[in-house]
Amino acid sequence: MVRNIDIREFADLWRNYPVVDVRSPNEYRKGHIPGAYNLPLFSDEERAQAGTRYTRSGRLASVQLGLDLAGPRLSSCVKAAADLSKQGPLLMHCWRGGMRSSSMAWLLDLAGMDVDVLKGGYKAYRSHIRNEFSTPVPLIVLAGKTGCGKTEILQAVRRLGQQVIDLEQIAGHKGSVFGGLGMQPQPTNEQFENDLFEVWQQIDPDRPVWIEDESLSVGTVSIPRPLFNQMMASPVIEIDLDFGMRVARLIREYASFSADDLVSCIIRIERKLGGDIARKASEAVRKGEFDLASSILLTYYDKAYDQSLLSRAGKVMRTHVHLTEDDPEKNAHILLNNSFLHVIAKTYGISYLS
């Protein structure tokens, strides 16, 4: 049986049943629903051919060409879909809920499978998640200068039972110009939003959500504007750690990378650092003087951080917490016991913070 369902019903089901994406491999790589299986009706080249035929000769000619192109692989598609259908009804989509998903659904129905086809296709899914990022949630923004260990503190906060959105983990980047070192290639911006929504939809809006203060861009991807606007308007807990501890943390994180990699990162911010300062930092890296190089770079990042906070000065609730040790577990407990959380709870009208 084939049903055509809207995005709301589809969203209620996709965590429990297999999602089948019949778009071409390149469309899938650019962005897909997390966990979706790609059973492409056409290869990338075949899709282009069918599209050209449709434009030049109309629908019938395009359908005839599509049958010729897809025919040889339909048997393997049915076999793969049959294996997936053991998990439950298949949730299927193409780009706009058009010919590709309808044709594949018809075939699988003929083979005795239950298929739910998403009206509007992947385009409807993308529109849905963009709208969902506008849903108000009780965010707590953890801010602090580079080297304070914010990401590790958030991970400890999560282990203590709190809700956390780890933007850097999802983006595959640590945020600064050095943030891509040692990381896998970042997802496309589209896939970043899809992966972020996978976390977003599991949030309990009656409990606080901890999130790290970030720029709009995290490496090559961008935080969805509705979420970023919420971050800019949410209460901020600003932490600080002694300069020497922050230098030591940077050395631990980055001294193992090659001098060439580190210097190439410094060159990317040469205009902002100034030529002389960039040269001194690069020379220090080449000589293995990581204390000096880290101190130079932290001074630059500290100035940039101070400027970014000015844009929110006086506009949001904010508290400052001085940390005396670089111990994420201990610091997480300090933050969770801070009286500022009671003010946040009252503001949001929530009571559960521990």
- Which of 7, 66, 57, 54 shows the shortest CA–CA distance to 33? 7
Taking the C-alpha atoms of residue 133 and residue 197, their distance in angstroms, rounded to an integer, is 8
Once rounded to an integer, what is the mean pLDDT over residues 130-148?
94
Taking the C-alpha atoms of residue 352 and residue 283, their distance in angstroms, rounded to an integer, is 51
CATH number, domain 136-348: 3.40.50
Would you state the pLDDT for residue 9? 95
- pLDDT band for position 300 (cuts 50, 70, 90): confident
Residue for token pair 């050095």:
178
Active site residues: 94
Would you state the pLDDT for residue 121? 96
Mean pLDDT over the full length of the chain: 89
- Which of 20, 53, 51, 56 shows the shortest CA–CA distance to 38? 20
| Those residues with Cβ within 8 angstroms of residue 205's Cβ, 6 or more apart along the chain or in another chain | 135, 136, 137, 138
- Which of 9, 13, 12, 14 shows the shortest CA–CA distance to 32? 14
Q: Is the pLDDT of residue 67 over 70?
A: no
> Where in the chain are all domains bearing CATH 3.40.50?
136-348
Taking the C-alpha atoms of residue 220 and residue 182, their distance in angstroms, rounded to an integer, is 15
> Where in the chain are all domains bearing CATH 3.40.250.10?
2-131
Would you state the pLDDT for residue 56? 65
pTM given for the model? 0.89
Q: Which amino acid is at 114?
A: D
CATH number, domain 2-131: 3.40.250.10
Query: Dihedral of CA 178/183/184/190: which sign?
Result: negative
Q: Is the pLDDT of residue 182 over 90?
A: no
